[in-house]
Structure 1
Amino acid sequence: MTTSPLALLPTALLIPTNALAQTQNKPNIVLFLVDDMGWQETSVPFYKEKTLLNSRYRTPNMEQLASRGVKFTQAYASAISSPSRCSLLSGMNAARHKVTNWTFDYNVETDMNDPEMMPPTWNCNGIQPDTVTSAHNRHRTTLITPLPQLLKDAGYYTIHCGKAHFGARTTAGEDPRSFGFMVNIAGGANGGPASYLARKEFGSNRFHVYGLEQYYNTDTFLTEALTIEAIKALNKPITEGKPFFLYMSHYAIHVPYEADERFTPNYRQANGQGMFDPMLQQPLNENEINHAALIEGMDKSLGDLLRFIDSKPEVARNTIVIFMSDNGGQAIDVRQGRHNYDQNYPARGGKGSALEGGIHEPMLVYWPGVTRGGTENHNRVMIEDFFPSLLDMAQVSQYRTSQVVDGRSFVPLLRNPKLHRKRQIVWHYPHFWTTNISERDGYGPSSALMHGHYHLIYYWRTNTCELYNVTNDIGESNNLAHKKPKLTNKLKKMLFKELDEYGAQKPTWKTPKH
C-alpha cells in the first residue's frame, strides 16, 4: 500500500512534506506529453540510426532538448491513451488499475463489438482521487493517491494544460483539479479535440475543448493557445518563488488532422502538391501534410517553453524538462502508406497494437547539472515509472499512497549513466480497439511481456503466442514461438504469474469453447 520504504516509519518520524518544501531547493518539473506520437515521428532518431521517416519531420526543438539531455531509446507506454495516463498519475500497471481501454462517458465501455469474444468488466469510469466518497464516483473505478496531489502537498504549484483523459464524464476524475492540479487549462474527459481551429471554436461536438473561449473566431491553432496559456500560468509560481510542476499535455498529434497553416507550406512543393517523400516513394497526401504540420507545431510549443524558461536564468538552472508520448503512432485508417509498416518504421504496428509500433515512445530528459548533453540511455522505462521518478526528482521521499505502485524510479539511471538494470515490462489490453484489424498486426485482446531480449505477445482469441527478439528484430518479422517452444512457455508462465499478481481481468467467449 506504499511506494516508499520510508513510509513504513512511524508517523511521528515522518517530516511533513510542506516542511520539506520550505527547507529544500526543489527543482521545477515540466512534463511535456504528446498524444499519439510514435517513436519515429521526429527528426530525432530513437533507433540505432537515422531513418527516412526521421527525415520527413521537422522537430528542431526536440533536437535541442536531446543535445542538452539524455535520449531514452527504450521507453514504453500502453498502446492506448487512458491506460497510460492513469498509470502516470498512479504509478500502477494498467493490469492493476484496470482502466485498460479509453474512457469517456459514465459507465460506457468503448470496446468494439466482436462476434466471438467479450471484453472483461473493466474500470470504464477511469481513476478517481481516493478522497471521493459518493457511490457515483466510486463505481467501476480505481481510487488513487495522485502524483500531482503529492507534489502539491510538497509545496509545488501544479498546473495541468491540455488533454486529461483520466476519468469519465460526470465523475470527479473528469476534472484534473480533483487530482491535485491547482490550475486546469482545457482538460476534461475527452480524449481528443473536436477541432484544433479557434475559428471553429475548437469544435462543437462532445469532444469540444473547453476553457479557451477567449481564442474563438481567431486564427489561433489549439497547440499555440495551450502554449500561451501555459506560459501565463507559469508566471505566478515564478513570481512567488515556488517550485512548479507543469504537466504540458498536448492534444496534438491526435486526429483530426486539420491544417496548421503556420507549417503546412513546409511540406508542399511550389505547385501546392505534397513534398515527394523518399520513404513512401510518392508525394505526401493532405493527411500526411497536416500530420507533419501538427508535429512541427507541437515542437514549436516545446521551443516556446524552453525559450521562456531560458529567459529566466535562475529558473532555467533549476528546471527539469521531460518529453514523452502516451502511446504509439497511428498506423491505420487516416495514414498514408502500408498500414502498420510505414508509419512507425522500422517498428511494425501502431496505436492499439501490442507490437513495438504501438508501445515504443520518444523520451527525452534534461536535468541541469545531472544529465550529460547528447547522451543515450538504453535501459527500459515504462509509463508507470514516471510516478516514483518525478517524486524522486522533487525530493519527496516520505509519502503514502492508497494504491500499490508498480513503477520504478529512473532517477538512478540519470545520476549514473553507466548503470544497467533489468526491467521486465507487462502490458494488458483485453479489448477490441477498432474494427477491420487483425491479430496479425498485434491488435485484438492481448497481453504481453518484455523480458531481456524478448517480447512475448499472447492473443486471447487464438490462445497463441508470438515471440520476438526485439534486440535484433525491431520490426518483429521473425516469430520465434515455434523455434523456441521452451522459452515461449517459460515467458508465458512468467506473464500469467504477473497478470495474476495484478488481478488482471480476462476476456471471455460469448459461446463457451469445449
Structure 2
Amino acid sequence: MIRLLYKIGLPAFAAVVTYCPLSAQPRQKTKPNIIVFMVDDMGWQDTSVPFHTEVTPLNKRYRTPNMERMAREGVKFTNAYAAPVCTPTRVSLITGMSPARHRVTNWTQIMRGNNADAADDTFARVDWNINGFSPEPGVPATIHATPLPQLLRDAGYYTIHAGKAHWGAMGTPGANPANVGFMVNIGGHAAGHPQSYLGTENYGNKLGKITYHAVPGLEEYYGSETFLSDAVTKNALKALAQPVREKRPFFLYMAHYALHVPLQADNRYFGRYLAAGLDSTEAKYASLVEGMDASLGDIMEYLDKNGLARNTVIIFMSDNGGLSLTPPRSGQPHTQNLPLKAGKGSLHEGGIREPMLVRWPGVARPGSVSDQYLIIEDFFPTLLEIAKVKPGKLIQQTDGVSFMPYLLQPGRKDDQRSLIWHYPNRWGGTGPGINHASAIRKGDWKLIYSMKDRKVSLYNLRLDIGELTDVSKSNPEITRQLADELTARLKAVNAQMPRYLKGNDQVKWPNEL
C-alpha cells in the first residue's frame, strides 16, 4: 500500500527541455526530476563496476548490470565518501551538515534516552544527538534543521520516499518521512534495518513476532514471494504516476534496506551464487546485491518507457562501507572490501568510501570518470543546484560543497579541499579503525586519529589505497599540518569528544599527542 500523506495544488510544468554544452551549467525550461538511489551498507567493491584502477576478484563475484549501464551512460565517481555508519550519513544528506556539526554521530533507535553506543571499558558514552534529526525545535537530543525534501517540495517537487528512513528515533518527529517533507512514504520509519525481507513473513509483521523493525505499509504483498527490495520498488513506481500525469517534477528518494542484515536470500538470484561456489552466507549477500541492482534497472526502464529519462538525474550512492565483521559475513574478518581496509564502522577506506554513479542524459558525459573526492554533505547543495532552488535562510549552517563542477567536467581536480570525519562513539565489534576515531583527507593524504590508541596514522592513498603503511614518522610536517587542521575543524563546530571512565578527563585533540 502506498501512503499518500497529503496533496498540495501546484501548477503543472511543461515537458520541453533544452541542453547546453557539457562545459557549462545546464539550462532547462523545466526542472529536472531527481532520483537519489541510496543503498544500505554497500561497499565500494560490492559491484561488477570497477571503481578501482583495475578489475578485482570482488568485481567478478557480483552481477550488477544496471550499475554497469549507469557507468556507461554517466559519470563514475571513484572517491565518494559517507560516514562510517548509516544515520549520520542520512542526516548529512538532508541537512548539508557534517556529522561533527550535527552531532548525530551514531545510529538512532528508540526515544526516551536509549543510546546506541556500545559500552566501552575505556570511555564513557559521549554526549551525542541520540534522537537524530528533527524538523521541529525543542526535541531533546536532536539536531533541528531545514530538511532537503521540504525545500524541494516547497519549490514544486512531488516528493516520494521509498524504503529506509532512519533519520530520527522512534517517537520523535524525525522518524516519520511525512514530517521531513515527503508527500508519499513507502515503508519508511525509525528502524535501521528490516525485521525480514520476505513477503512470506509479512516483512516482520506477523502476530506475536513483531518488533519495531517490522517494515510498515506493504500489506498488499503479505504472504507473497515478493522480496522487500522488489516491493518498495514496485510501489515507488506506482507513486510516480501522479507527478508524471500532472507533468510535475519529482524527487524520488529510493532508499533500499538492502544490503543490511538480516542476510536473507533473494531467491530470484540466490541459486546463481551457490552454483558459482559461494557459501550460503555470501550467496545471500550477493543475491541482495543483485536484487538491489534489479530495482535500479526497473526504475531506468520506467523512465525510458515514459519518456522521462532525458530530464531525470539519477544519483547512486551508499550510506557507509560494506560490512566486514564475521559473523554475520563469512570468511576472514575485514577482507570483504579489499583492496580497501576494514569495513562498516571504520574510518579506514573500507568503512567510508562508496560506489557513486550519476546519470543525467545531455549533461553528464557518458562513460566518464571523476577522481575528485567528495562527501555526503555535498549532496545537499548539489541537489538544490540541480533543482534550481535558492533556499534563502536556513536554520542550519551547512558544510557541503556542490559537486556540480565535477559532474559537468569530470577531469577537474581540487586537491586543496579537506574532508573530515568524526566518530567519537563505539559502534560495536572490533577491527582496524572501528570506534572512537576522527580523520581528515586532503589531496592524496589521509590522517586517522585513534582516540583509544592515542595515536595518529598517515597514509598516501594514491600509493597505498589499502592503508597498509603508516608514513607519519617519515612525513612529520604533513602529519602536523593535518593534525592541526583536523583539530581546528573539530573545535570550530564544538565537536563532542569522549571522556575517560577514570578521572573524567577528555581525550586529547589530534594535535596534542
TM-score (norm 1): 0.90
Corresponding residue to 1:249 among 252, 255, 259:
255
Q: CA deviation at 1:372?
A: 1.0
Corresponding residue to 2:472 among 460, 475, 481:
481
Q: Is the 8 A contact 2:119 2:125 kept in 1?
A: no
1:361 maps to what in 2?
Answer: 354
Deviations 1:251-296 (A, max 9, x none): 0000111111110111122xxxxx23xxxxxxx2111000000000
1:393 maps to what in 2?
Answer: 386
In structure 2, distance between residues paired with 1:160 and 1:199: 24
Q: 1:311 to 1:19 in 2, by over 3 A?
A: closer
Corresponding residue to 2:35 among 30, 33, 48:
30
DSSP 3-state at the match of 1:317? helix
1:13 maps to what in 2?
Answer: none
Q: CA deviation at 1:19?
A: 9.3
Q: CA deviation at 1:393?
A: 0.4
Q: CA deviation at 1:179?
A: 1.0
Q: 1:47 to 1:356 in 2, by over 3 A?
A: same
In structure 2, distance between residues paired with 1:413 and 1:101: 30
1:364 partner amino acid: L
2:53 partner amino acid: K
Q: Does 1:209 align with 2:226?
A: no
DSSP 3-state at the match of 1:379? coil
In structure 2, distance between residues paired with 1:139 and 1:20: 40
In structure 1, distance between residues paired with 2:349 and 2:43: 10
Deviations 1:64-114 (A, max 9, x none): 011000000000000000000000000000000000000011121101111
2:134 maps to what in 1?
Answer: 128
Q: CA deviation at 1:160?
A: 0.3
Matches within 5 A, 1:166-245: 166-203=167-204, 204-245=210-251
2:118 maps to what in 1?
Answer: 112
Q: CA deviation at 1:328?
A: 0.1
DSSP 3-state at the match of 1:268? helix
In structure 1, distance between residues paired with 2:412 and 2:446: 22
1:77 maps to what in 2?
Answer: 82
Deviations 1:315-372 (A, max 9, x none): 22201111000000000121122211x2101001100001000000000001111111
Q: Is the 8 A contact 1:119 1:506 kept in 2?
A: no
Percent of aligned pairs sharing the same letter: 48
Q: Is the 8 A contact 2:75 2:410 kept in 1?
A: no
Q: Is the 8 A contact 2:378 2:402 kept in 1?
A: yes
In structure 1, distance between residues paired with 2:299 and 2:306: 11
2:425 maps to what in 1?
Answer: 431
Deviations 1:416-457 (A, max 9, x none): 23322233110000011113x14xx11120000011111101
Q: CA deviation at 1:482?
A: 2.1
1:307 maps to what in 2?
Answer: 301
Structure 2: tracts of 5 or more residues without a match? 1-9, 15-27, 205-209, 506-513
Q: CA deviation at 1:249?
A: 0.1
In structure 2, distance between residues paired with 1:403 and 1:487: 32
Q: CA deviation at 1:214?
A: 1.3
Q: CA deviation at 1:414?
A: 1.4
DSSP 3-state at the match of 1:293? helix
Q: CA deviation at 1:206?
A: 2.1
2:65 maps to what in 1?
Answer: 60
> Which has the larger displacement, 171-180 or 331-340?
331-340
TM-score (norm 2): 0.90
Q: Is the 8 A contact 1:33 1:247 kept in 2?
A: yes
Q: Does 1:445 align with 2:436?
A: yes
DSSP 3-state at the match of 2:242? helix
In structure 2, distance between residues paired with 1:59 and 1:221: 17
Corresponding residue to 1:90 among 91, 95, 116:
95
Structure 1: tracts of 5 or more residues without a match? 1-17, 270-274, 277-283
Q: Does 1:43 align with 2:36?
A: no
In structure 2, distance between residues paired with 1:236 and 1:375: 33
1:328 maps to what in 2?
Answer: 321
Q: CA deviation at 1:120?
A: 1.6
DSSP 3-state at the match of 1:201? helix
Corresponding residue to 1:264 among 248, 259, 270:
270
Q: CA deviation at 1:21?
A: 7.5
Q: CA deviation at 1:399?
A: 2.5
In structure 2, distance between residues paired with 1:400 and 1:21: 26
Q: Is the 8 A contact 2:12 2:248 kept in 1?
A: no
Matches within 5 A, 1:269-308: 269=275, 275-276=276-277, 284-308=278-302
1:140 partner amino acid: A
DSSP 3-state at the match of 1:117? coil
In structure 1, distance between residues paired with 2:125 and 2:473: 28
DSSP 3-state at the match of 1:292? helix
1:492 maps to what in 2?
Answer: 483
Q: Is the 8 A contact 2:117 2:125 kept in 1?
A: yes
1:403 maps to what in 2?
Answer: 396
DSSP 3-state at the match of 1:118? coil
Q: CA deviation at 1:303?
A: 0.1
2:148 partner amino acid: L
Q: Is the 8 A contact 1:83 1:94 kept in 2?
A: yes
1:71 partner amino acid: K
Q: Is the 8 A contact 1:21 1:154 kept in 2?
A: no
Q: Is the 8 A contact 1:20 1:154 kept in 2?
A: no
Q: Is the 8 A contact 1:196 1:222 kept in 2?
A: yes
Q: Is the 8 A contact 1:453 1:471 kept in 2?
A: yes
1:9 maps to what in 2?
Answer: none
DSSP 3-state at the match of 1:428? strand
Taking only aligned residues, the RMSD between alpha carbons, in angstroms, comes to: 1.5
In structure 2, distance between residues paired with 1:102 and 1:94: 11
Q: Is the 8 A contact 1:33 1:324 kept in 2?
A: yes
